[in-house]
A and B are shown apart, each in its own frame.
Chain A
Amino acid sequence: MTRRRTALAIALAVAVSAPLAACGSDDPINHPWRPGGSTPGPAAPVAEGDLAGSLTAAGASSQESAMAAWAAGFQSAYPDVVVSYDPVGSGGGRTQFVEGGIQVAGSDAPLDDEELAAAQDRCAPGDVAELPLYVSPIAVVFNLDGIASLNMSPATVAGVFARTITRWNAAEIAADNPGVALPDLAITPVTRSDESGTTENFTEYLAAAAPQAWPYEPSGNWPLDGGQSAQGTSGVVQTVTDGVGTIGYADASKAGSLGTVALGVGDDFVPFSPEAAAALVDASPRAAGRPAASLVVDLDRTSTAPGTYPLVLVSYTLACTAYEDDADAELVAAFLAYVASEEGQAAAASAAGSAPVSPALREQVLAVVEGIAP
């Protein structure tokens, strides 16, 4: 009796799970059940090849959307390749890369000296390559009824986030925004609660552009205690949206319908745009004292060049110029070539709102990528 019931239960379980296993598909784009019919995936960006294997990458969550677009584009060109990106965070990505668990990492910050040495070991006999392939403006977003845009000088932004300017109708804000009816409302700054590249870039900007109003050291962790904060870019955006009189900083692609701040550059106020972000990267010098394959940009936050937006996040793609396995080297080289290509950068721009790299930078990147050898 009991045995028969057990057998029945097993049979039932198998009967339920068998069709489940049969109907799974790894091709959602061209699946016949897709609502609205299947649209063709992104056009093959590079010549169809016979690459196969799996490329595992991990790192900064800022790159997640862009990486998804790159993986999709690359996989449609090489159907036998599996690209996976694990958004564990920059620190996790750097650690795993140095340990050799992954071939490629994404990081919001360049490697520090210690990591650089370890990474050079991991990549020996080659070099470690740090490629600035994801450039994205950071927007200062706020939630005020009926106001879509405000001008703020660096000192005002710093004052608001240092909580020395506490009301929306303060004189400093009003001075930059003649003719705007500012409400008499408390300002609630919203920051990132987790350590992040976005915070680091934002505090770096404040420290460089408004040293008097911003007395804190640049840091990936928000230096003030006791305010509103949230995890991740979407957490900040959500919190700013839910509150009244809130202001925060977030990856520009997620700003959505929130009001945004045009930052003071020289005598102008520049709203964020991918072009203005790319312009800043072009106007900034290369960091000195790093390996040849390392294209680290030393962002010039105080640049007064017209049309540059000073609040920019540059996220690097870490790879080696030599891999033990020939197949790995071939795969990484092909993938990075695609990512740096115009198609790849356009795919990221459309999926993640990032700023396509300039032709000059692309040439430098491609030169490094061509050097990737077994």
Chain B
Amino acid sequence: MSGQRLQAEAEPELAPAPLSVRGGGHDRAGRVFRWLATGSGVLILAVLAAVAGFLLLEAWPALSASREDLAAISWIPDDGSLLGYVGPLVFGTVLAAILALLLAVPVAIGIALFISHYAPRRLADVLGYLVDLLAAIPSVVYGLWGGLWLAPKLQGVWGWLSDNLGFIPLFEGPAATPPRVMMTVGVVLAVMILPIVTAVSREVFLQTPRLHEEAALALGATRWEMVRMAVLPFGRSGVISASMLGLGRALGETMAVLMILSPGLTYSWALLMAGRHQTIAANIALQFPEANPLGVSALIATGLALFVITLLVNMAARWVVSRRAAFSGAN
């Protein structure tokens, strides 16, 4: 950060340097370029304002509707409370995303470390490429695979979990047949975000300054100590932003949840029971086709809630990253 400011301050002195070959024309080009860059930033603000404005505008009829009107929508609770409807959805959305992150991030860090610092050079190149390819596979394909192939295979595992670890509220039984439950969703989402978290983490780990690594090794550190002292601290903010990318994908994933989960609107920790949870994105896709205008507006209000969740998550991540901002390549 500070280096950047330094450079920006240095610019006026450096730009009109006598060595400049062509002089005046560059000034205008520089201004146009700068204007284009700034304009793009402003355009993004405008687009976002438009989206947010539209969201609010479209959600307003539901936000301001009377309880009686809302209760007339068949899938809203009989007391007509929008909060009572959104609450379990928010819970389910966050639960699914956190479950996916908890499962995926440690494994992703492991894979990224393996590729960047453990695997033989030649193998690492191939693996890195493979992971990039997997990250590029569309989520609808992961959904198809998770719903049709993986989910049926998890039945036995969940049965075992609920039989043997059922005393833990998370694994409360009996496990549902077929396993259209939150746990399955978590696993599929984890597999889905694994490549993308890995790809970004690997990229960051590879950027660890060679000098840091060699310094650690020269001090007698083992490979793991080198990783722990040089690579992980350097890559921490990168891993966090990679996780955020994965979290974004998990929070907004529609297809896989839609195809796998038996939805229900409760605040339940029982991950292995059907009809307990639902996520916002899947719920919008599920109810949108048959919704009347007020229903659409209520669904958009839930979309607004999803928006706010991601906002909070991003702010939290930004805060964590900024506390650790010391390791930026630009320094």
Contact = CB atoms under 8 A, between A and B. Distances in A.
A contacts B directly (C-beta below 8 A)? yes
Contact of B289 (A92, A244, A245): A92
Contacts of B151: 242
Given A61-B289, A91-B292, A242-B178, A226 B266 contact: yes
A231 B265 contact: no
Interface string B256-292: 0011001111100000011110000000001111111
B289 A225 contact: no
Contacts, number: 81
A90 to B, nearest CB: 6
B276 A226 contact: yes
A310 B293 CA distance: 32
Interface string A211-240: 000000001110001111111000100010
A75 interface: no
Contacts of B258: 231
Contact of A220 (B74, B266, B274, B288): B74
Nearest to A197: B290
B263 A196 contact: no
Contact of A231 (B75, B286, B292, B293): B286
Contacts of A245: 177
Interface residues of A, number: 29
Pick from A61, A220, A227, A246 the residue with the most CB of B within 10 Å: A227
B134 to A, nearest CB: 24
Nearest to B73: A221
B274 A227 contact: yes
A153 B13 CA distance: 91
A95 interface: yes
Contacts of B262: 193, 227-230, 239
A351 interface: no
Interface string A186-227: 001000011110000000000000000000000111000111
Nearest to A196: B290
Nearest to A223: B74
Interface in A241-293: 242-246
Pick from A220, A225, A235 the residue with the most CB of B within 10 Å: A225
B237 to A, nearest CB: 33
Pick from A92, A194, A244 the residue with the most CB of B within 10 Å: A194
Contact of A194 (B177, B276, B289, B292): B289
Contact of B265 (A194, A220, A225, A239): A225
A191 B279 CA distance: 18
Given A231-B258, A231-B259, A91 B177 contact: no
Given A221-B75, A227-B274, A231-B259, A195 B177 contact: no
A73 interface: no
A89 interface: yes
Contacts of A61: 289
Nearest to B155: A242
Contact of B178 (A89, A221, A239): A239
A55 interface: no
Interface residues of B, number: 28
Given A195-B74, A225-B265, A227-B275, A239 B180 contact: yes
B103 interface: no
B289 A229 contact: no
A73 to B, nearest CB: 26
A244 B152 CA distance: 12
A116 interface: no
A226 B289 contact: no
A88 interface: yes
Interface in B208-267: 258-259, 262-266
B259 A225 contact: no
Pick from B75, B178, B276, B292 the residue with the most CB of A within 10 Å: B178
B193 to A, nearest CB: 22
A246 B177 CA distance: 8
A220 B287 CA distance: 11
B176 interface: yes
Nearest to A92: B289
B287 to A, nearest CB: 6
Contacts of A228: 176, 178, 180, 262, 274-275
A229 B287 CA distance: 14
B289 A88 contact: yes
B177 A220 contact: no
A221 B177 contact: no
Given A195-B75, A219-B74, A244-B177, A229 B290 contact: no
Contacts of A230: 180, 262
Interface string A57-76: 00001000000000000000
Given A226-B264, A227-B274, A228-B262, A243 B177 contact: yes
B293 A195 contact: no
Nearest to B76: A221
A195 B290 contact: yes
Given A88-B289, A239-B178, A239-B180, 8 more contacts: A90-B290, A92-B288, A194-B290, A219-B74, A225-B265, A226-B273, A242-B151, A243-B177
10 contacts: A89-B289, A89-B290, A195-B75, A195-B287, A225-B275, A228-B176, A228-B262, A228-B275, A229-B274, A243-B178
Top 4 closest A-B pairs, CB basis? A89-B289, A242-B178, A221-B74, A195-B290
Interface of A: 61, 88-92, 95, 188, 193-196, 219-221, 225-231, 235, 239, 242-246
